[in-house]
């Protein structure tokens, strides 16, 4: 069998690992708010007080909600429970589309209205050729 020293070194490494894992777990747990890249409309609705700092809201662009006028884009971000109206002036990314993921960066006007300074398209995990997509839609 292994010597005493080998066992001690094994115990030593295990203890360091367990300690570090617990520490990192606690730190991440307490920093959760800052680790998330964006908040959902539901989380915005349940905010106790309005955040005046720059924040990000993410979710799906609601179907038939995109309204493009001369200098502004208006749309609704939904997480299928709650919604938030977003207005933005500027160019949107190519992949920005209805019923697709989006992250808007900007400021809350109130619980239902968000003024975006930057729009990011969130790509989902589905990869397929166009023909397969068409076949899926026909079903």
Partner 1 sequence: MFKILEPNKIFQITSKAPKYILFLFVVVLTVGLTEALILSPEDYKQSDAVRIMYVHVPSAWISLGIFSSITLLSISGFIFKNKNFFLMSKSLAPSGFVFNIIALVTGAIWGKPTWGTWWAWDARVTSMLILALFFAMYLIAWRIYEKEEKVFKITTFITVVGIINVPITKYSVEWWNTLHQPASINILTKSSIHSSMLFPLLLMTAAFALFSLLIFLMKYNTELIKIKNKGLDRL
**Alpha carbon distance 15, 109 (integer Å):** 50
138 is an interface residue for partner 1 by CB under 8 A:
no
Q: Which is nearer to partner 1, 49 or 131 (CB)?
A: 131
**DSSP assignment letter at 75:** E
Cβ(127)–Cβ(114) below 8 Å: no
Q: Are strands 67-68 and 113-122 parallel, antiparallel or unpaired?
A: unpaired
Whole-number minimum distance, CB 123 to partner 1, in Å? Answer: 5
- Regarding 17 and contact with partner 1 (CB under 8 A), the answer is yes
CA distance linking residue 86 with residue 74, whole number of Å = 6
Q: Which of 42, 45, 66, 121 binds partner 1 (CB under 8 A)?
A: 121
Number of residues that bind partner 1 (CB under 8 A): 41
Q: How far is the CB of 76 from partner 1 (least distance, A)?
A: 18
d(CA 90, CA 106): 13
Radius of gyration of the chain (CA): 23
- Binding segment for partner 1 (CB under 8 A), chosen from 60-68, 70-78, 86-94, 107-115, is 86-94
Which residue, 40 or 78, is less far from partner 1 as judged by CB?
A: 40
Q: How far is the CB of 113 from partner 1 (least distance, A)?
A: 21
Calpha distance 115→52 (Å, rounded): 12
Binding interface with partner 1 (CB under 8 A): 6, 9-10, 13, 16-17, 20-21, 24, 28, 32, 35-40, 58, 92-96, 100, 103, 118-133
């Amino acid at each position: 069998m292994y010597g005493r020293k080998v066992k001690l070194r094994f115990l030593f490494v295990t203890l360091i690992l367990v300690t570090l894992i617990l520490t990192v777990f606690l730190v991440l747990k307490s920093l959760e708010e800052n680790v998330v890249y964006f908040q959902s409309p539901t989380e915005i609705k349940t905010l106790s007080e309005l955040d005046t700092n720059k924040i990000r809201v993410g979710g799906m662009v609601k179907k038939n909600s995109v309204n493009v006028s001369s200098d502004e884009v208006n749309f609704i971000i939904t997480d299928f429970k709650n919604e938030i109206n977003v207005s933005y002036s500027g160019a949107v990314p190519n992949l920005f589309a209805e019923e697709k993921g989006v992250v808007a960066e900007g400021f809350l006007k109130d619980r239902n209205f968000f003024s975006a300074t930057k729009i990011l398209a969130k790509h989902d995990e589905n990869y397929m050729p166009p023909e397969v997509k068409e076949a899926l839609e026909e079903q």
